[in-house]
Chains A and B, each alone.
Chain A
Amino acid sequence: MNNLIFKHRFLIARRITQVTIMFLYFAANAWGFNFLMGNLSSSKILNTIPLSDPYAVLQMLAAGAVLSADVLGGVFIIILFYMFFGGRAFCSYVCPVNMITDLSNYIRRKFGFNKIQKRQPASRNIRYYVLALSLIISFIMGYAAFEFISPVAMIQRGIIFGLGFGWAAILIIFLFDLFVLKNGWCGHICPIGGFYSLIGRFSFIRVHHNHENCTACMKCKEVCPESQVLFMITKDSLPVTSGECTNCGRCVEVCDDEALNFSIKNYKRK
């Protein structure tokens, strides 16, 4: 039992933070418990510390909006935070969509869907094209373009303010990931993940691979939602430097040979 918890320690921590954050937002709306007000687009902690989604603000900037000091301060805090902790820690520890796509992925693994289709037909760079396109369209149309279609915003707002047709967005992402493309939404399309990948390049906290311990069981690659970042497994003792790593720690957990662990980025060796 203890071992089971240990083997899922990061997963448990992630689910707890994800659920707690959504619950706090929900509580602020439903009962006026204002510890964390607002939502993932923009929020306030204890009615004082502002937080704002830098990608949404980037689109607003492209659209030509005048940015308030509150928003700029909020963006600054968020960017600093994720630069330190690995940009896509947002994906694995905060974003509620992650729970949906992880479920798809889990079912895929359990029922062996992944064995049928080995090679994924789509490029993981699509997210950067969507990111660029969203900024171009925001600039041309004069509105933050992705914010009007973002299923991520729809779902998290749905949890906090009521879902409407938002359940359709949940279902679409779930089915898309389950039947069409492995890690389809988060690993290929979502521009928020793309944006945080770019920020995450600078992060200090990294997964480190020690290839002397590695027994080439490939459990880590099997479980990693961004398996391309683990290209060094069995080959080299290197840290995962790609910003696309979500710092979810699944690889660290499943490794039975202590070949993987978190470490603080070593800036001396370059």
Chain B
Amino acid sequence: MNTKKDQKMNRREFFLNGARALGLTALGGLVWSAYVDEVTASSLLLRPPGALDEKEFLKSCIKCGMCVEACPYDTLKLAKPGDNKPLGTPYFVPRDIPCYMCPDIPCVPVCPTDALDEKKVTKNNKLDIKEASMGVAVIDQSSCIAFWGIQCDACYRACPLLGEAITIEYTKNERTGKHAFLKPVVHTDVCTGCGLCEKACVTKKAAIFVLPKEVALGKAGDYYIKGWDKKDEQRLQKATNKINKTKISERKAVDSLNDLGGILDE
């Protein structure tokens, strides 16, 4: 009698404990997943040269910090608790220390996981830092003093790809009538996102700053073709076309336009 009752209690306890453990695990798992989702979501972050696309990068980077150690300029940092960035992953803040675009790119080959991929910064079988695509510089025209008409070319001079990634555009200053604007223009296909311009900018808070490319750039889509660009136009050769036949397109365009509600019948 007593043993039977004990058995019942034991079984109940067993199930209760099991359910409790399961519930706790599920709860822990949910909180944990939510946290991982949260910390990996921050997208305003500049990665070292050659970094894979953010999602793949976060998968691959083992957070060893060898890229950080390899950088001779102390550009790269590993995200610490409190930095509000995916914990342990390398990043840089150009206004503090930009990437100086070392020709031998020491930070990339040391990466053991290929999260920094040599292929992405290789051209003609040679490491080429100009291939780096860490981000792209964006100019805020309302705070750039060159757009006010004050002469400044600090960013232009600081750019390691001077005359390629940033050029100066001359326009007439209609307000004074006798001065010129010397406006900096960023060429997004050349800019590597090193941030030397952002570091050099003379304004209190930089008027030119580097953003990740996915954040800063738009995308026109495949369906626009630059007719003035021979290469771009070649895309037309492979193009297929699809014709939609509807009732209205059976007739000539003029006829169907003139047909106000079936007058021209026959």
Chain A interface (Cβ < 8 Å from any Cβ of B):
28-29, 32, 34, 37-39, 41-44, 50, 52-53, 56-57, 60, 63-68, 70-71, 74, 129, 133, 136-137, 140-145, 147-149, 153-154, 157-158, 160-166, 168-169
Contacts and interface: CB of A to CB of B under 8 A. Distances in A.
A65 B56 CA distance: 7
A192 B21 CA distance: 21
B63 A65 contact: no
A60 B112 contact: no
Interface stretch (B75-83, B133-141, B175-183): B75-83
A41 B63 contact: yes
Contacts of B65: 29, 38-39, 157, 160-161
A42 B66 contact: yes
Contacts of A70: 112-114
Contacts of B82: 164-165
A56 B80 CA distance: 18
Interface stretch (B25-33, B186-194, B231-239): B25-33
B40 interface: yes
B68 interface: yes
Interface in B29-58: 29, 32-33, 35-37, 39-40, 55-56, 58
A37 B29 contact: no
Contacts of A148: 35-36, 39-40, 86-88
A158 B77 CA distance: 12
B81 A168 contact: yes
B80 A162 contact: yes
Contacts of A144: 59, 62
B241 to A, nearest CB: 39
Contact of B113 (A34, A71, A149, A164): A71
The listed residue with most A CB atoms (<10 A of its CB), out of B33, B35, B36, B56, is B36
B62 A133 contact: no
B203 interface: no
Contact of A142 (B28, B32, B55): B55
Nearest to B58: A143
B32 A137 contact: yes
A133 B28 CA distance: 9
Q: A-B pairs with the 8 shortest C-beta distances?
A: A164-B80, A165-B82, A42-B64, A165-B81, A65-B59, A38-B64, A70-B112, A68-B114
A159 to B, nearest CB: 12
Contact of A38 (B21, B39, B69, B114): B69
Contact of A52 (B29, B68, B77, B112): B112
A164 B85 CA distance: 12
A148 B55 CA distance: 14
Nearest to B17: A123
Contacts of A67: 113
Given A29-B68, A137-B36, 17 more contacts: A37-B69, A38-B64, A39-B65, A42-B62, A42-B66, A56-B62, A70-B112, A74-B112, A133-B32, A140-B33, A143-B36, A148-B39, A148-B86, A154-B81, A154-B87, A161-B78, A168-B81
Contacts of B37: 141
B21 to A, nearest CB: 8
